Amino acid sequence: MNVIQVIIRDVIYILCFILSMQAMQALNYEKFLKQGHVRQAQVLYFLLVMALAWLSGSFVLIFLDF
């Protein structure tokens, strides 16, 4: 893998992370969480965003043949 491919892959993953953050803000997930568990909710939110970003980034990279 050359340097250009690595940069493109990283940019795609960063863009997918940003888009995932924006998409997750549309959900009202607070009704699924327990009261007073703010830290755990933040960790869950971050992990869900990372998983969604990785899945969508991998999906894009498959079509770009990277």
At 50 the pLDDT is 97
What percent of the chain clears pLDDT 90, i.e. is strictly above it?
A: 71
Taking a C-beta distance cutoff of 8 angstroms, is the pair 16, 53 a contact? yes
At 56 the pLDDT is 97
Q: What is the pTM of this model?
A: 0.84
Which of 46, 6, 51, 4 lies closest to 29 in space, CA to CA? Answer: 46
User: Is pLDDT above 90 for 9?
Assistant: yes
pLDDT interval class at 64 (50, 70, 90) = confident
**27-59 per-position pLDDT tens digit:** 888 888 888 888 998 999 999 999 999 999 999
Domain range spanning residue 42?
3-64
How many domains in the chain?
A: 1
